[in-house]
Amino acid sequence: MSTTSHHDARIAKMTFASVYPHYVEKVEKKARTKEELHQVIHWLTGYNEQKIEELISEKVTFETFFKNAKLNPNAELIKGVICGYRIEDIENQLTKEVRYLDKLVEELARGRKMEKILRVA
């Protein structure tokens, strides 16, 4: 299933701050920690905990969030289906990056080992 331009635009305008509490809730409900969530976000984006908190308080959009991120070169190893979309088939780069983050959060919540989540060889 490919994304639509309306879908891509909606994701670009969504704020990281509006989604972040859902990420925290999802991982904590499955006995994972906020610190582990931050480790995953740091691996994908290069943002440390202080920067994550800053981006939340500034209510940046996902467009700004990922525009300023230093995406991990191994992010392209993140594959699979998330929210009904096969990540490797998503053409819009920003939508793909947001789905990378969604997939990592899902893997964390499902109890996958951190080495696997972070694509450590």
In CATH, the number for domain 5-117 is 1.10.8.290
Q: What is the pLDDT of residue 15?
A: 97
Name which of 66, 44, 48, 57 is nearest 17 in CA terms. Answer: 57
CA end-to-end distance (rounded Å), the chain: 30
| pLDDT tens figures, 42-82 | 999 999 999 999 999 999 999 999 999 999 999 999 999 99
pLDDT of residue 1 exceeding 70, the answer is: no
Paired residues of 29 in beta bridges: none
86-110 pLDDT tens trace: 999 999 999 999 999 999 999 999 9
* Mean pLDDT, all residues of the chain: 95
Closest C-alpha to 46, from 25, 65, 23, 21: 65
Asked if residue 121 has pLDDT above 70, the reply is no
pLDDT at 62: 98
- Hey, where are the domains in the chain? 5-117
